Chain A
Amino acid sequence: MKMKAITAFLVFLVILTLPFLVSAVNGDILSQAPQPKLEKAKAPAGVENKCVEEVPYMRANHMNILKTARVQVVRNGLREKYKKYSLENCFTCHRNRAEFCDKCHSYAGVEPGCFGDRGGCHYANTKK
Protein backbone atom coordinates (compact mmCIF):
# COMPACT_ATOMS: atom_id res chain seq x y z
CA MET A 1 0.00 0.00 0.00
CA LYS A 2 2.64 2.49 1.07
CA MET A 3 5.00 1.04 -1.53
CA LYS A 4 2.38 1.44 -4.22
CA ALA A 5 1.77 5.03 -3.19
CA ILE A 6 5.45 5.84 -3.29
CA THR A 7 5.90 4.18 -6.68
CA ALA A 8 3.00 6.12 -8.12
CA PHE A 9 4.39 9.31 -6.67
CA LEU A 10 7.86 8.69 -8.12
CA VAL A 11 6.52 7.84 -11.56
CA PHE A 12 4.68 11.13 -11.73
CA LEU A 13 7.66 13.00 -10.28
CA VAL A 14 9.91 11.69 -13.04
CA ILE A 15 7.40 12.46 -15.79
CA LEU A 16 6.79 15.98 -14.57
CA THR A 17 10.42 16.92 -14.05
CA LEU A 18 11.54 15.38 -17.30
CA PRO A 19 12.75 18.64 -18.86
CA PHE A 20 15.01 19.28 -15.90
CA LEU A 21 16.23 15.71 -15.71
CA VAL A 22 16.91 15.65 -19.41
CA SER A 23 18.97 18.80 -19.28
CA ALA A 24 20.88 17.41 -16.32
CA VAL A 25 21.72 14.22 -18.19
CA ASN A 26 22.27 16.19 -21.34
CA GLY A 27 25.26 17.78 -19.68
CA ASP A 28 27.05 20.95 -20.70
CA ILE A 29 25.33 23.26 -18.31
CA LEU A 30 27.04 26.18 -19.98
CA SER A 31 26.00 25.42 -23.53
CA GLN A 32 25.63 28.52 -25.58
CA ALA A 33 23.54 29.31 -28.58
CA PRO A 34 25.02 27.94 -31.78
CA GLN A 35 27.19 30.35 -33.75
CA PRO A 36 26.68 29.85 -37.46
CA LYS A 37 29.80 30.61 -39.51
CA LEU A 38 29.40 32.86 -42.47
CA GLU A 39 31.93 32.87 -45.31
CA LYS A 40 30.97 36.20 -46.81
CA ALA A 41 31.74 36.93 -50.41
CA LYS A 42 33.22 40.28 -51.22
CA ALA A 43 30.48 42.59 -52.36
CA PRO A 44 31.03 44.26 -55.70
CA ALA A 45 31.97 47.89 -55.46
CA GLY A 46 29.09 50.23 -54.63
CA VAL A 47 26.88 47.46 -53.27
CA GLU A 48 26.30 47.35 -49.57
CA ASN A 49 27.68 44.19 -48.05
CA LYS A 50 24.54 42.90 -46.33
CA CYS A 51 21.72 40.38 -46.54
CA VAL A 52 18.51 40.92 -48.51
CA GLU A 53 16.61 41.74 -45.32
CA GLU A 54 17.54 42.69 -41.77
CA VAL A 55 19.25 39.91 -39.85
CA PRO A 56 16.65 39.52 -37.05
CA TYR A 57 13.88 39.34 -39.63
CA MET A 58 15.84 36.77 -41.61
CA ARG A 59 16.36 34.62 -38.55
CA ALA A 60 12.68 34.27 -37.95
CA ASN A 61 11.34 34.39 -41.49
CA HIS A 62 13.94 33.13 -43.97
CA MET A 63 11.96 29.97 -44.57
CA ASN A 64 8.93 31.94 -45.68
CA ILE A 65 11.01 34.05 -48.06
CA LEU A 66 12.61 30.97 -49.55
CA LYS A 67 9.35 29.19 -49.91
CA THR A 68 7.53 32.15 -51.44
CA ALA A 69 10.37 32.72 -53.88
CA ARG A 70 10.39 29.07 -54.86
CA VAL A 71 6.69 28.96 -55.54
CA GLN A 72 6.61 32.26 -57.40
CA VAL A 73 9.62 31.39 -59.57
CA VAL A 74 9.18 27.71 -60.24
CA ARG A 75 5.41 27.49 -60.43
CA ASN A 76 4.40 30.98 -61.50
CA GLY A 77 7.50 31.91 -63.54
CA LEU A 78 8.12 35.26 -61.85
CA ARG A 79 11.88 34.78 -62.03
CA GLU A 80 12.77 38.41 -62.57
CA LYS A 81 10.58 39.72 -59.76
CA TYR A 82 12.07 37.36 -57.21
CA LYS A 83 15.63 37.46 -58.48
CA LYS A 84 16.70 39.18 -55.29
CA TYR A 85 15.68 36.11 -53.30
CA SER A 86 17.19 33.46 -55.56
CA LEU A 87 18.94 30.72 -53.67
CA GLU A 88 21.99 31.19 -55.89
CA ASN A 89 22.16 34.65 -54.45
CA CYS A 90 22.02 33.30 -50.92
CA PHE A 91 24.75 30.79 -51.63
CA THR A 92 27.25 33.55 -52.33
CA CYS A 93 27.58 34.12 -48.61
CA HIS A 94 25.80 31.18 -46.99
CA ARG A 95 27.81 28.59 -48.80
CA ASN A 96 28.41 25.91 -46.24
CA ARG A 97 25.42 24.00 -45.03
CA ALA A 98 27.21 22.26 -42.18
CA GLU A 99 28.81 25.38 -40.80
CA PHE A 100 25.91 27.72 -41.38
CA CYS A 101 22.46 26.17 -41.80
CA ASP A 102 22.87 23.07 -39.69
CA LYS A 103 24.31 24.91 -36.72
CA CYS A 104 20.94 26.33 -35.78
CA HIS A 105 18.76 23.81 -37.55
CA SER A 106 20.04 20.82 -35.63
CA TYR A 107 19.98 22.85 -32.41
CA ALA A 108 16.32 23.64 -32.93
CA GLY A 109 15.54 20.19 -34.26
CA VAL A 110 14.18 21.48 -37.55
CA GLU A 111 14.98 19.82 -40.86
CA PRO A 112 15.67 22.49 -43.52
CA GLY A 113 13.33 21.96 -46.43
CA CYS A 114 15.82 23.02 -49.12
CA PHE A 115 18.07 20.02 -49.23
CA GLY A 116 18.25 16.34 -49.71
CA ASP A 117 16.39 13.69 -48.01
CA ARG A 118 12.72 14.55 -48.08
CA GLY A 119 11.39 16.63 -50.92
CA GLY A 120 14.30 19.07 -50.99
CA CYS A 121 15.74 20.11 -54.36
CA HIS A 122 19.24 21.39 -53.75
CA TYR A 123 22.20 19.15 -53.52
CA ALA A 124 24.85 21.64 -54.53
CA ASN A 125 26.74 23.25 -51.64
CA THR A 126 25.21 20.79 -49.25
CA LYS A 127 28.20 18.83 -48.10
CA LYS A 128 27.32 17.70 -44.62
Chain B
Amino acid sequence: MALKFLLIDDNAIDLFINQKMIEKEAVPTNIITFTNASDAIDYLKNLEDLTSCHMRNAPDVIFLDINMPLMNGFQFIDKFNKLNIKKEIPIKIYMLSSSANPIDLQKVKQEKSCTGFINKPLTSYAINNVMEKFRTC
Protein backbone atom coordinates (compact mmCIF):
# COMPACT_ATOMS: atom_id res chain seq x y z
CA MET B 1 0.00 0.00 0.00
CA ALA B 2 1.34 3.40 -0.99
CA LEU B 3 1.57 5.88 1.86
CA LYS B 4 0.03 9.21 0.98
CA PHE B 5 1.89 12.32 2.07
CA LEU B 6 0.69 15.90 2.17
CA LEU B 7 3.46 18.47 2.45
CA ILE B 8 2.90 22.09 3.45
CA ASP B 9 5.75 24.58 3.37
CA ASP B 10 5.92 28.14 2.10
CA ASN B 11 9.50 27.60 0.98
CA ALA B 12 9.43 25.84 -2.38
CA ILE B 13 12.98 24.59 -2.00
CA ASP B 14 12.22 22.92 1.33
CA LEU B 15 9.15 21.42 -0.23
CA PHE B 16 11.28 20.03 -3.01
CA ILE B 17 13.84 18.61 -0.57
CA ASN B 18 11.17 16.95 1.54
CA GLN B 19 9.50 15.47 -1.50
CA LYS B 20 12.77 14.06 -2.81
CA MET B 21 13.71 12.58 0.56
CA ILE B 22 10.35 10.86 0.93
CA GLU B 23 10.42 9.54 -2.61
CA LYS B 24 13.85 8.12 -1.85
CA GLU B 25 12.77 6.27 1.29
CA ALA B 26 9.19 5.25 0.68
CA VAL B 27 8.29 3.47 -2.49
CA PRO B 28 5.59 3.39 -3.75
CA THR B 29 4.31 6.69 -2.50
CA ASN B 30 1.88 9.47 -3.28
CA ILE B 31 2.83 13.07 -2.47
CA ILE B 32 0.82 16.25 -2.68
CA THR B 33 2.46 19.58 -1.91
CA PHE B 34 1.18 23.02 -0.92
CA THR B 35 3.05 26.26 -0.39
CA ASN B 36 0.02 27.72 1.32
CA ALA B 37 -1.68 26.22 4.40
CA SER B 38 -5.12 27.55 3.54
CA ASP B 39 -4.97 25.87 0.13
CA ALA B 40 -4.26 22.61 1.93
CA ILE B 41 -7.30 23.13 4.14
CA ASP B 42 -9.40 23.75 1.04
CA TYR B 43 -8.05 20.55 -0.48
CA LEU B 44 -8.98 18.51 2.60
CA LYS B 45 -12.40 20.12 2.79
CA ASN B 46 -12.97 19.24 -0.82
CA LEU B 47 -12.21 15.59 -0.10
CA GLU B 48 -14.94 15.51 2.55
CA ASP B 49 -17.57 16.59 0.09
CA LEU B 50 -16.73 13.85 -2.38
CA THR B 51 -17.73 10.23 -2.31
CA SER B 52 -15.99 7.73 -0.12
CA CYS B 53 -13.86 6.42 -2.94
CA HIS B 54 -12.27 9.82 -3.10
CA MET B 55 -11.75 9.62 0.58
CA ARG B 56 -9.10 7.07 -0.21
CA ASN B 57 -7.06 9.98 -1.56
CA ALA B 58 -6.92 11.41 1.93
CA PRO B 59 -3.35 11.63 3.16
CA ASP B 60 -1.93 9.35 5.81
CA VAL B 61 0.72 11.81 6.90
CA ILE B 62 0.94 15.61 6.84
CA PHE B 63 4.30 17.31 7.12
CA LEU B 64 3.57 20.79 8.25
CA ASP B 65 5.95 23.72 8.43
CA ILE B 66 5.42 25.94 11.48
CA ASN B 67 6.52 29.36 10.29
CA MET B 68 4.49 30.42 7.30
CA PRO B 69 2.95 33.73 6.36
CA LEU B 70 -0.83 34.26 6.54
CA MET B 71 -1.57 30.88 8.11
CA ASN B 72 1.11 29.27 10.20
CA GLY B 73 1.30 25.63 11.26
CA PHE B 74 -0.65 26.07 14.47
CA GLN B 75 -3.40 28.03 12.75
CA PHE B 76 -3.60 25.21 10.22
CA ILE B 77 -4.13 22.69 13.01
CA ASP B 78 -6.92 24.80 14.52
CA LYS B 79 -8.71 24.76 11.17
CA PHE B 80 -7.92 21.13 10.62
CA ASN B 81 -9.47 20.15 13.98
CA LYS B 82 -12.78 21.53 12.81
CA LEU B 83 -12.83 19.33 9.72
CA ASN B 84 -14.96 16.17 9.59
CA ILE B 85 -12.28 14.24 7.74
CA LYS B 86 -10.31 14.13 10.95
CA LYS B 87 -13.00 11.99 12.57
CA GLU B 88 -13.17 9.49 9.76
CA ILE B 89 -9.57 8.96 8.87
CA PRO B 90 -6.65 8.96 11.26
CA ILE B 91 -4.19 11.45 9.80
CA LYS B 92 -0.83 11.81 11.43
CA ILE B 93 0.50 15.33 11.47
CA TYR B 94 4.18 16.05 11.93
CA MET B 95 5.35 19.57 12.42
CA LEU B 96 8.54 20.63 10.75
CA SER B 97 10.73 23.52 11.68
CA SER B 98 14.34 24.49 11.37
CA SER B 99 14.47 25.61 14.98
CA ALA B 100 13.67 23.49 17.99
CA ASN B 101 12.19 26.41 19.86
CA PRO B 102 11.14 25.21 23.34
CA ILE B 103 7.86 27.14 23.20
CA ASP B 104 7.01 25.60 19.83
CA LEU B 105 7.96 22.14 21.09
CA GLN B 106 5.69 22.60 24.09
CA LYS B 107 2.83 23.69 21.85
CA VAL B 108 3.36 20.71 19.57
CA LYS B 109 3.23 18.36 22.54
CA GLN B 110 -0.01 19.85 23.79
CA GLU B 111 -1.62 19.60 20.38
CA LYS B 112 -3.45 16.28 20.42
CA SER B 113 -3.88 16.00 16.69
CA CYS B 114 -0.16 16.44 16.26
CA THR B 115 1.87 13.29 16.29
CA GLY B 116 5.36 14.67 16.44
CA PHE B 117 7.96 17.27 15.72
CA ILE B 118 10.73 16.92 13.13
CA ASN B 119 13.74 19.16 12.81
CA LYS B 120 14.61 20.42 9.35
CA PRO B 121 16.23 19.24 7.18
CA LEU B 122 14.15 16.13 6.82
CA THR B 123 16.42 13.07 7.00
CA SER B 124 16.02 9.44 5.91
CA TYR B 125 16.17 8.52 9.55
CA ALA B 126 13.19 10.71 10.39
CA ILE B 127 11.17 9.44 7.46
CA ASN B 128 11.84 5.84 8.41
CA ASN B 129 10.75 6.59 11.95
CA VAL B 130 7.45 7.89 10.64
CA MET B 131 6.92 4.88 8.40
CA GLU B 132 7.80 2.53 11.24
CA LYS B 133 4.62 3.66 12.97
CA PHE B 134 2.55 2.52 9.99
CA ARG B 135 4.21 -0.82 9.76
CA THR B 136 3.48 -1.63 13.37
CA CYS B 137 -0.17 -0.73 13.18
A and B from one assembly?
no
Residues of B within 8 A of A (CB): none
Residues of A within 8 A of B (CB): none
